Amino acid sequence: MGLREWSVGGVLLSPFLIYVLLALLVTGALRLLLRLTPVGRWIWHEALFDCALYVCVLTLITVVLGPL
């Protein structure tokens, strides 16, 4: 996919927007899995953990899909 802008109806869209949405979906799925398992009880500050997990997932997606 690469980090090149797309023209949709004359509006330039960044592919980073796709990465952000994909990371949001992956983070939501991971949080659901953590809540269903006993591991979720060990999370002390859920909002901080959610933010850190999202940043980690977004970084991983950008590194993996960026060069494509």
Please give the model's pTM, rounded to 2 decimal places.
0.82
Structural domain range at position 31: 16-65
Domain assignment of residue 27, yes or no: yes
Can you give the chain as a three-state secondary structure string? CCCCCEEECCEEECCHHHHHHHHHHHHHHHHHHHHHCHHHHHCCCHHHHHHHHHHHHHHHHHHHHCCC
Domain assignment of residue 36, yes or no: yes
Domain assignment of residue 56, yes or no: yes
For the chain, what is the domain count?
Answer: 1
Domain assignment of residue 10, yes or no: no
Domain assignment of residue 3, yes or no: no
pLDDT digits (tens, 9 = 90+) for 4-26: 788 889 998 888 888 999 999 99
pLDDT digits (tens, 9 = 90+) for 27-45: 999 999 999 999 888 999 9
